[in-house]
């Protein structure tokens, strides 16, 4: 997953990310008509942090506590057999459950769409939401499945040789989005 960080250049900084999350939070309230039945589920690792930040902003806007959890999709991936078995991350569904609710999936980068396909399968085993929407910080294009995001922080046109890396303070010590050039070596995911 490591890209050559010396070549990677930042395309988004902390204030940009904060503004985008605020805008997405307002869009969710608008589209969901008050966001009464919204449940935010972040996809590990960085989607979880983004979901928590979105939940904080939604609480400020609506004045109500916002259920937020995480959805690990490792066991539902379609490329499991292509790599060594990998460690699992936490799936945490808020106490209210997801049945009949509007689930907003949150991830950092939308690329092939395969992660979201896996997330939709995982959701199906957990309950039956009223609807599922998708919020991503960066949409870099190159979809391999008919999947699109409902809320996008930034559309970032890229070539397949480029890498997009989101860093968040909770995990990496700072907020930034880096655009780099892929090493000719092994392919990174997303």
Partner 1 sequence: MKHHLISAADLTRDDAVLILDTAEEMARVADRPIKKLPTLRGRTVVNLFFEDSTRTRISFEAAAKRLSADVINFSAKGSSVSKGESLKDTALTLEAMGADAVVIRHHASGAPYRLANSGWIDGAVVNAGDGTHEHPTQALLDAFTMRRRLVGRDRGIGRDLAGRRITIVGDVLHSRVARSNVLLLNTLGAEVTLVAPPTLVPIGVESWPCEVSYDLDSVLPKSDAVMMLRVQRERMNAAFFPTEREYSRRYGLDGDRMARMPEDSIVMHPGPMNRGMEITAEVADSDRCTAVEQVANGVSTRMAVLYLLLGGAEPAAPAPHARTEETK
By CB under 8 A, tell whether 48 contacts partner 1.
yes
By CB under 8 A, tell whether 72 contacts partner 1.
yes
Give min distance, CB of 48 to partner 1, in A. 7
By CB under 8 A, tell whether 84 contacts partner 1.
yes
In the complex with partner 1, which residue's Cβ is closer, 19 or 83? 83
Calculated CA dihedral for residues 147, 166, 66, 120, nearest 10 degrees: 30
Q: Which stretch binds partner 1 (CB under 8 A): 23-31, 67-75, 143-151, 181-189?
A: 67-75
**Integer Cα distance of 125 and 144 in angstroms:** 23
> Residues touching partner 1: how many (CB under 8 A)?
25
Give the residue from 165, 169, 123, 190 showing the smallest Cα distance to 8: 165
By CB under 8 A, tell whether 107 contacts partner 1.
no
Contacts of 68 (CB under 8 A, 6+ apart): 39, 40, 41, 42, 51, 52, 54, 55, 94
Q: Any idea what the Cα angle at residue 101 is, between residues 120 and 19, rounded to 5°?
A: 80
**Integer Cα distance of 132 and 109 in angstroms:** 18
**Binding residue for partner 1 (CB under 8 A) from 61, 127, 154, 188?**
127
Give min distance, CB of 49 to partner 1, in A. 10
By CB under 8 A, tell whether 1 contacts partner 1.
no
Decide: 50 and 106 in contact? Cβ < 8 Å.
yes
- Residues near partner 1 (CB under 8 A): 44-45, 48, 52, 70, 72, 75-76, 80-91, 121, 125-127, 171
């Amino acid at each position: 997953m490591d890209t050559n960080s010396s070549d990677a250049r930042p395309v988004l900084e902390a204030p940009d990310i904060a503004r985008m999350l605020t805008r997405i939070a307002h869009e969710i309230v608008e589209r969901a008509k008050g966001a009464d039945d919204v449940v935010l589920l972040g996809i590990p690792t960085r989607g979880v942090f983004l979901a928590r930040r979105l939940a904080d902003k939604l609480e400020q806007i609506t004045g109500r506590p916002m259920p937020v959890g995480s959805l690990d999709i490792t066991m539902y991936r379609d490329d499991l057999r292509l790599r060594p078995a990998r460690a699992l991350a936490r799936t945490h569904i808020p106490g209210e459950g997801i049945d009949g609710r509007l689930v907003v999936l949150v991830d950092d980068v939308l690329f092939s769409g395969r992660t979201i396909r896996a997330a939709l399968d995982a959701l199906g085993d957990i309950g039956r939401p009223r609807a599922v929407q998708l919020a991503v910080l960066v949409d870099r294009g190159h979809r391999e499945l008919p999947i699109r995001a409902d809320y996008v922080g930034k559309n970032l046109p890229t070539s397949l040789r480029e890498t997009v890396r989101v860093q968040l303070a909770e995990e990496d010590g700072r907020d930034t989005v880096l655009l780099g050039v892929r090493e000719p070596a092994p392919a990174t995911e997303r």
